[in-house]
Amino acid sequence: MQHRKNKLLEISTGAKSKPVFIRQLLTNLVRNGKITTTPKRAQVLKAYTDSFFAGLVKNISTYKEEKDARRENIRVIKAELFSEPEGKKVLETLLPKYLESWLKSGFVASYKLGYRVGDGAEKVLLKLV
């Protein structure tokens, strides 16, 4: 039996472990603002990115003082993103934009691009809203 097992969220990452691979994809998405990948990886990354940004927005609303929320968000960002410039970009540009638009989900939009030239795999463009 396969209770509580979601086959859609399983991706093959080669030699790397899944969490490290997803964090690399998230870091690249924040760095460039968009990323092109396969549909299955896009689905996993979209879910991960939405929960990441939703947690950051929730931290700001739950803490009474702004500096406590900022400190907690910095801790979460350091745990998830691999480089410091992307963390600063999230704190200074992306998070205020999401707070003023009152978004709680839907931080990433996906677009189908067609097929890859080399092996004919589908391509999907993920873009930060």
Rg of the chain in Å (alpha carbons): 16
Q: In 63-89, which residue ranges form alpha helices assigned H by DSSP?
A: 66-80, 84-89
Mean of per-residue pLDDT scores for the chain: 90
- Token look-up 């997803």 returns 22
The whole-angstrom separation of Cα 88 and Cα 69 is 15
Which pLDDT band holds residue 88 (cuts at 50, 70, 90)? very high
pLDDT in tens, 44-70: 999 999 999 999 999 998 988 999 999
- Looking at the predicted structure, is the pLDDT value of residue 81 above 90? yes
pLDDT value at position 61? 87
Q: Which helix (H) or strand (E) holds 125?
A: strand 122-128
pLDDT in tens, 16-36: 688 888 999 999 999 999 999
Torsion of CA 48, 53, 56, 61, to 10 degrees: -120
- Looking at the predicted structure, is the pLDDT value of residue 98 above 80? yes
Domain boundaries defined on the chain: 16-128
> What is 16-128's CATH superfamily?
Ribosomal protein L17 (3.90.1030.10)
DSSP 54: H
- Looking at the predicted structure, is the pLDDT value of residue 14 above 90? no
pTM score over 0.85: yes
